Chain A
Amino acid sequence: MTELAIRLRGVVKRYGEITAVDGLDLDVPEGTCVGLLGPNGAGKSTTMRLLTAQALPDEGELELLGFSLPGESKQARAQLGVTPQLDNLDVTLTVEQNLLVFAHLYRIPRAERRDAIQRALELAKLVERRSARVDELSGGMRRRLLIARALVHRPRLVLLDEPTVGLDPQVRQELWALIDALRSEGTTILMSTHYIEEAQRLADTVMIMSHGKAVAAGAPSQLVSEHAGTDVLEVYGPPARLAEVEGLAGSNGLRTRRTGTSVSVLGIENGDGIGIDGERRPANLEDVFVLLTGEEIG
C-alpha cells in the first residue's frame, strides 16, 4: 500500500454559526495529484488552512507526511510548499530576492541556496527576469513566481490553492504545464480549484466538495461514467420547450439539469429514440457536480 501524504478523518471546523468543514475525510496518496473541486464557500480554502495549522480543527484527526496536526505541524511544514490563493509576494523586491527570502525561511543550507534559487527560476521560466521587481511582472509571471517560491526547498508535498484563479486562458495553460511537470517529478499535490477543466486535466483523483463535505471522490473519468453516463444531449430553446424536454426525459427515466439557456439530458446513450433533437456531447465533471450538489460551479 502506498503511504498517505495527507490523511484527514472526520475533520470539523466551525467559525461561529458557520460550519466551514463538516466531517471531512480525505486521503492523498504519495506521488498523486488530488483536486478539491467545489464552488466558493465549499470549504476548500479552510481545508488548506487546516493543513498548514493556520486554522485549528474543532474535531477530527489530521495527518500530514506522517506528522499529526496541529501538534507536529512545524515539522510537516518544513517539507511542505504552499501557494496561496492571494498573491503575497514582496512586490518591491526582485524575483530573486523573493526566492532568497524563502530559501532562508525554508532553512536551505547556505551552500545549496544558490542552486535552489536557480532551479526555482528555471522551473518558473523566470531566469531572464531574475532582477526584475515583482511589481513590474505580468499576472502570469507573478503566479509562476508564487509557485516557484513554494518549491524552492523541494517539498515532498505541495498545496496549490486555486493556482490559476483570475488568469487568462492562455496563461492558465502555461501554469498547467508547470504543475504537470511537477507532478511527473513525483511531487505530491493537493490542489483546490473551481475550474472543472483544471481538475479534469491535472488531477488523478478529484474530490467534489459542497458545504464543507465530500460528496464524491474518484478519478475524473470514473466519476463521470458513474454519475453522468457517457453522453449528454444539450437542448436549447424557449423556456416552454425546455420544460417539455425535462418532462419527456423524466418519463423515460433520464435525468436532466438546467444550465441557463439549455437543458442537459444526461445518459442519453440509454435513451436513444426518445425523439429529442439537440447537440450530443460527452458528459463531464460539471454534469457530475451539478447532479450531486444541485449547485452551479464557476
Chain B
Amino acid sequence: MAVAARDRRLGRLERSAITGVLVREIVNYSSYWRAATFSSTVEPTIYLLAFGFGFGSLVSTVSGYDYIEFIGTGIVATAVLFSSAFPAMFGTFVKYQFQRTYDAILAAPVDTEELVTAEAVWIATRAGVYGNVPLLVAMAFGLDPSWGMLAVPFICWLSGFGWANFGISVAGFAKSIDNFSYIVSAVLTPLFLVAGTFFPIDGLPGWAQFLANLNPLHHCVELVRHAAFGWEGWSDVASVGVLVVFGLLTWRIAIRAMTRKLIT
C-alpha cells in the first residue's frame, strides 16, 4: 500500500481533499443549522417587510414594478451577502484563530488551496439556498412565479462564491476580529445600499452609476430581477461575466491571503 501511495502523484485541487473539507462542514452544519437558517432568512425578510410596507405605502411602483416586486427580487442579493460574506469572515477567523481547525485539516493531505476552495463552495451552496427565501416571501405577498426564477439559485451560488471568497480574504488579511468593522462600514454597507436593491441606480449621478456598475451585488440584483421579469440579453451576459470575474479574482486572493496566514 505504501508503494502504491508513493507512485500516485497527488495533484492540486483534488476532489477527495475538497470532499473531506466539505464533509467536515456538512457534519458541523447538523449542529448549528437552526441558528444559521434563522439569521440568513429572518434578517432579509425583515428588510423586505419593513421596506416593502414602509416605502410601499409611499411609492406604488418603481421602474415599472410594484414596489414589493421590486424589493422582493432585490433583497435576494442582500440575503446572499448576509449568508456568504459575513459567515465567511467570522467563520474563517474563528476556525483559524480560536478553534485551530485549519491546523488539523492542513496536517491531513489537504492543501490551503483545496481548503479555501471547499470552504467557498460550501458557503456559496448555502447562499444558493438561502438566497431564495426573500423570493418565496415576496410570492406570499403577490409576486408572480415565473420559469426564469429557476435560475435564481444558480445566480445566488455564483454571487455567493465571490462573497465567500471576499469574506475569507478579509479574514486572511485581518490582524484581529475588530478589523472587520472597517470592512463592514466602509465596504459592505455602501455596496449593499447602492446595489439597486431599495431604489433604482439610474436616478443616481453619473459617477455613482458608474461605481454601482462595478458593484457585484448590483449585478446579482439585476440578474435576479431579469430572471423574474424577463431576460435582457447581452446586459445579462455581461452581469454573469462580472460575477464570474469577481468569483475568480476573490478566489485567488483568498487562497493567497490564507496561505500567508496558515503557512509560516
Contact = CB atoms under 8 A, between A and B. Distances in A.
Contact of B23 (A56, A66, A104): A104
A52 B28 contact: no
Interface stretch (B13-21, B62-70, B120-128, B193-201): B13-21
A172 interface: no
Interface residues of A, number: 33
Interface string B3-14: 001101110000
A84 to B, nearest CB: 6
A106 B32 CA distance: 25
A86 B10 CA distance: 28
B254 interface: no
Contacts of A93: 27-28, 31
Interface in A61-89: 65-67, 74-75, 77-80, 82, 84, 86, 88
B101 A88 contact: yes
A277 to B, nearest CB: 52
B28 A77 contact: no
Contacts of A15: 264
B110 interface: yes
Nearest to A46: B264
A56 B263 contact: yes
Interface stretch (A31-39, A95-103, A238-246): A95-103
Given A54-B263, A56-B263, A75-B6, A105 B28 contact: no
Interface string A3-46: 00000000000010000000000000000000000000000000
Contact of A54 (B6, B28, B101, B262): B262
A88 B20 contact: no
B106 A52 contact: yes
Contacts of B108: 77, 102, 105-106
B103 interface: yes
Most chain B CB within a 10 A radius of its CB, from A75, A86, A149: A75
B10 A78 contact: yes
A80 B9 CA distance: 16
A5 to B, nearest CB: 11
Interface of A: 15, 49, 52-56, 65-67, 74-75, 77-80, 82, 84, 86, 88, 90, 92-93, 97, 100-102, 104-107, 149, 156
Given A55-B264, A78-B5, 16 more contacts: A54-B103, A54-B263, A55-B263, A65-B2, A74-B10, A74-B109, A74-B110, A75-B109, A77-B107, A78-B10, A84-B104, A88-B100, A88-B104, A100-B27, A105-B23, A107-B20
Interface of B: 2, 5-6, 8-10, 16-17, 19-21, 23-24, 27-28, 31-32, 99-101, 103-111, 262-264
